[in-house]
């Protein structure tokens, strides 16, 4: 695992100003409120044996704190306790969004026959997905990729502070080729969930650009992989094709992909992704929240769960 001196003691003051404004999204709290009923419904579906009560009360706490941040934006919201884990936070609104996705809706829940599953986590951000996997399978091996330097620093802190074992961290972007590429970030929101190697992920908005190291995923698959989680903001199609070309899809049992449909509004490539699954023996389920009435060329986040066997 990569590390740097003093990483365990990082605080908000160690980061630039955009990182020290973790509540800059709080003005959008009204939009977040509309998600609360569906989130509470999702929590009601969590089995009691899987921590439903704790997640319910924690969710209410986070929502209340997010609401309070809109009234008092100068509080310290750079850290949070999450189910016995101490997490450094960059953007609190993004943090609550990710908690809702991972722990409330349980987007990455899977059942493994192994007590030590191997998981490739592509797009780890600050490590909430790593926390979820380590709670689900404490003895799992997680290989995590996060290209943004600032976000990676916080990911390192969270892994080290919580003493998660068998977590390999890579400050690289998963990409169809090894090398260097442009990586676009929101200059006003550190740890943005839309950070991407695709400029189109920020349409009509100012961006910051940095050079990041890229890495193919196929060399990391040398045997059976229980799960690949892929949230890489637009590079998922080429990365999946690279895995297919390298003959590595056959080693993967389950895949969660967030597919970014109409990243280019005039291009439609979803069938190529689904064909890769079909040609390599996967079944799949698809979920996509959408607004009515339908609109042509509208961007959509599509969740795809691909699996083998019955």
Which residues have C-beta within 8 Å of that of residue 43, sequence separation ≥ 6? Answer: 52, 55, 56, 59, 104
Angle at CA of residue 195, ends 292 and 303, nearest 5°: 45
Could you report the per-residue pLDDT of 106-139, keeping only the tens digit for each?
A: 999 999 999 999 999 999 999 999 999 999 999 9
- Specify the pLDDT at position 23: 42
Is residue 230 within 8 A of residue 261, CB to CB? The reply is no
Between 122-131, 140-149, 158-167, 232-241, the lowest mean confidence (pLDDT) is in 232-241
Q: What's the CATH number for 7-307?
A: 3.40.50.150
Question: How sure is the predictor about 299, in pLDDT bands with cuts at 50, 70 and 90?
Answer: confident
Could you report the per-residue pLDDT of 25-38, keeping only the tens digit for each?
A: 444 555 566 788 88
Distances (CA, A) of 48 to 37, 40, 60, 128: 19, 14, 17, 21
Select, from the ranges 6-20, 155-169, 186-200, 277-291, the one with the highest average predicted confidence (pLDDT). Answer: 155-169
Q: Domain extents for the chain?
A: 7-307
Could you report the per-residue pLDDT of 39-95, keeping only the tens digit for each?
A: 999 999 999 999 999 999 999 999 988 887 665 555 568 899 999 999 999 988 889
Structure-token pair, residue 87: 């997490």
Length of the chain: 310
* pTM, two decimal places: 0.87
Distances (CA, A) of 70 to 66, 81, 259: 7, 20, 31
Question: How sure is the predictor about 256, in pLDDT bands with cuts at 50, 70 and 90?
Answer: very high
> 17 pLDDT exceeds 50?
no
- Specify the pLDDT at position 26: 41
CA distance 258 to 234: 9
Average pLDDT of span 5-27? 44
Structure-token pair, residue 133: 């996997």
Average pLDDT of span 142-170? 96
- Specify the pLDDT at position 12: 42
- Specify the pLDDT at position 234: 81
Select, from the ranges 35-49, 216-230, 296-310, the one with the highest average predicted confidence (pLDDT). Answer: 216-230
> 20 pLDDT exceeds 50?
no
């Amino acid at each position: 695992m990569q590390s740097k001196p003093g990483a365990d003691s990082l605080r908000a003051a160690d980061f630039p100003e955009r990182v020290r404004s973790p509540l800059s999204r709080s003005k959008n709290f009204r939009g977040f409120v509309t998600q609360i009923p569906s989130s509470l419904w999702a929590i009601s579906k969590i089995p009691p044996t899987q921590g439903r009560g704790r997640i319910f009360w924690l969710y209410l706490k986070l929502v209340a704190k997010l609401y309070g941040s809109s009234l008092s934006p100068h509080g310290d919201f750079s850290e949070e306790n999450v189910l016995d884990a101490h997490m450094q936070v960059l953007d609190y609104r993004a943090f609550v969004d990710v908690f809702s996705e991972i722990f409330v809706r349980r987007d990455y829940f899977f059942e493994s026959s192994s007590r030590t599953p191997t998981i490739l986590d592509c797009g780890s951000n600050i490590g909430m997905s790593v926390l979820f996997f380590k709670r689900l399978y404490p003895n799992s091996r997680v290989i995590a990729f996060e290209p943004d330097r600032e976000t990676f620093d916080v990911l390192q802190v969270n892994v080290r502070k919580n003493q998660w074992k068998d977590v390999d961290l890579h400050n690289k972007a998963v990409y169809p080729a090894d090398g260097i590429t442009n990586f676009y970030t929101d200059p006003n929101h550190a740890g943005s969930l839309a950070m991407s190697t695709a400029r189109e992920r920020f349409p009509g908005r100012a961006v910051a650009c940095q050079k990041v190291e890229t890495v193919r995923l196929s060399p990391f698959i040398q045997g059976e992989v229980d799960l690949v989680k892929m949230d890489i903001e637009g590079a998922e199609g080429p990365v999946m094709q690279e895995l297919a070309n390298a003959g590595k899809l056959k080693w993967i049992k389950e895949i969660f992909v967030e597919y970014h449909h109409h990243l280019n509004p005039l291009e439609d490539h979803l069938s190529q992704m689904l064909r890769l699954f079909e040609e390599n023996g996967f079944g799949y389920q698809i979920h996509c929240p959408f607004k009515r009435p339908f609109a042509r060329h509208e961007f959509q986040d599509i969740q795809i769960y691909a699996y083998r066997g019955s």
